[in-house]
């Protein structure tokens, strides 16, 4: 996970050379915000940033961050088929041990 280093937060600066046509059209307006958002989303997608921390970096509430993830098609959880299989096996084991009980509708 990326966050703070021992001496405090890290700071990165990136210089981007834009053609005159882009600067004249006002393209640079908000580019820092867009680049920051792309970097944070990429790091979140790579599981190098926690969701809450990523939301704070972007100045978003947790719900707004989840909405952004949905809009971009980025899953907010990393729950694999293997995770599901393991969870299912655990539930079955706990049921057989009596630690869990099914209700009358068959729910656990």
Write the pLDDT tens digit of every residue in 29-51: 677 788 889 999 999 999 999 99
Determine contact, residues 98/85, Cβ cutoff 8 Å.
no
Say if residue 36 is in the same domain as residue 84: no
Question: Residue for token digits 């990523």?
Answer: 54
- pLDDT tops 50 at residue 68: yes
Number of domains in the chain: 2
| DSSP-based three-state secondary structure for 96 | helix
Domain span including residue 49: 4-77
Say if residue 8 is in the same domain as residue 52: yes
Say if residue 70 is in the same domain as residue 83: no
Say if residue 60 is in the same domain as residue 24: yes
Model-wide pTM > 0.85: no
H or E segment and range at residue 9: strand 8-9
Say if residue 82 is in the same domain as residue 42: no
Say if residue 13 is in the same domain as residue 53: yes
Say if residue 9 is in the same domain as residue 55: yes
């Amino acid at each position: 996970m990326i966050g703070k280093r021992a001496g405090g937060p890290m700071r990165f600066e990136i210089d981007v050379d834009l053609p005159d046509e882009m600067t004249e059209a006002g393209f640079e307006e908000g580019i820092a915000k867009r680049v920051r958002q792309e970097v944070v989303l990429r790091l979140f997608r790579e599981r190098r940033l926690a969701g809450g921390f990523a939301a704070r970096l972007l100045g978003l509430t947790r719900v707004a961050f989840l909405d952004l993830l949905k809009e971009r098609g980025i899953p907010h959880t990393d729950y694999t088929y293997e995770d599901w299989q393991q969870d299912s096996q655990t539930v079955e084991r706990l049921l057989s041990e009596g630690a869990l009980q099914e209700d009358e509708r068959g729910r656990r």
